[in-house]
């Protein structure tokens, strides 16, 4: 399991997982599954990464999109 924070990788124009400012996963593709930590409920929420037509990344079934993805605690299997 890989766990870290979401960060935007300008080299490939994708969001990936950062651990101590190093890429653990350099970029998600549309449809890739992950879990995001919900601080309010203190639970992991299963989701997937997608992109809107305006080149805006978002997490399905969550309120997170665009720059709000930056720094979110996530994990992947």
**pLDDT tens column, 18-55:** 999 999 999 999 999 999 999 999 999 999 999 998 88
Quick check: 60 pLDDT over 90?
yes
Residue range 46-75: mean pLDDT, rounded: 96
Q: Distance (Å, rounded) from C-alpha 70 to C-alpha 8?
A: 7
CATH code at 59? 2.40.10.390
Range of the domain at 62: 2-76
What's the pLDDT score for residue 35?
Answer: 98
- Give the chain's domain count: 1
In sign, the C-alpha dihedral spanning 20, 24, 28, 32 is negative
Cβ(3)–Cβ(75) below 8 Å: yes
Q: Residue 55's pLDDT is what?
A: 85
The chain-wide mean pLDDT, for the chain, equals: 96
pLDDT at site 8: 97
């Amino acid at each position: 399991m890989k766990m870290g924070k979401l960060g935007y990788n300008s080299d490939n124009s994708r969001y990936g997982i950062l651990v101590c400012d190093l890429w653990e996963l350099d970029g998600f593709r549309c449809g890739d599954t992950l879990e995001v930590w919900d601080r309010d409920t203190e639970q992991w929420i299963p989701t997937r990464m997608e992109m809107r037509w305006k080149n805006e990344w978002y997490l399905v079934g969550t309120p997170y999109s665009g720059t709000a993805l930056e720094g979110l605690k996530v994990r992947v299997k």
